[in-house]
A and B are shown apart, each in its own frame.
Chain A
Amino acid sequence: DVVLTQTPVSLSVTLGDQASISCRSSQSLEYSDGYTYLEWYLQKPGQSPQLLIYEVSNRFSGVPDRFIGSGSGTDFTLKISRVEPEDLGVYYCFQATHDPLTFGSGTKLEIK
């Protein structure tokens, strides 16, 4: 199975500052069709997860441009510029390139 290692486990950020989360995969996530099926989800307290980023860097509909995904192969990053109060929660990376599909262990973003 593909293991996704997220760092840090938790992050405390001042409002307006930038946050950065890393997701490292045990295997390359580039699929045979040339696409890389690495996604980012945010689970706000008490809610179901919500999609933020797909195919490494594409923002889902309605996601602010403060959320920026990047990376390739086995190393990926989610940057949140100008953190706002509604950004708090747990961020998960997720890979849909290899079966079984797998989630990272999560990064909890707290607001200072």
Chain B
Amino acid sequence: EVKLVESGGGLVQPGRSLKLSCAASGFSFNDYWMGWVRQAPGKGLEWIGEINQDSSTINYTPSLKDKFTISRDNAQNTLYLQMSKLGSEDTAIYYCARITTVATIDYWGQGVMVTVSS
């Protein structure tokens, strides 16, 4: 069974950094592109970015490129999202996503909440 489990969320002060993890299981992690999506409270979905199988290609939504870094560890079957200079606008549920060869998101994690507040 494919599972994506995010962790590392919580309450963080404005201006600080936070690193999210997504533990993948049930499939060959290094065969897939992976991505991150977020959803602010009561709002729609926002694409953050994606990373290819060997980390040679990483794309970001331009407005988030300077503060977010996506990486992966194929040996640990784990996807990461490093977030820096966090502001209240970054308060959201963050989802990890598996991307198929036809560019679909066929599996999503359950999401992890990040709250930026003093």
B45 touches A101 (CB 8 A): no
The residue in chain A whose Cβ has the minimal distance to the Cβ of B100 is A54
Q: Number of contact residues on B: which range applies?
A: 20 to 34
A54 touches B104 (CB 8 A): yes
Asked if B44 lies at the interface with its beta carbon under 8 angstroms from chain A, I say yes
For chain A, the count of residues having a C-beta within 8 Å of the partner chain is: 25
Report if A102-B47 is in contact (Cβ < 8 Å); known contacts: A48-B95, A48-B111.
yes
Asked if B32 lies at the interface with its beta carbon under 8 angstroms from chain A, I say no
Asked if B9 lies at the interface with its beta carbon under 8 angstroms from chain A, I say no
| Interface of A toward B, CB cutoff 8 Å | 1, 35, 37, 39, 41, 43, 48-51, 54-55, 60, 90, 92, 94, 96, 99-106
| Interface of B toward A, CB cutoff 8 Å | 35, 37, 44-47, 49-50, 59-62, 95, 102-106, 108-111
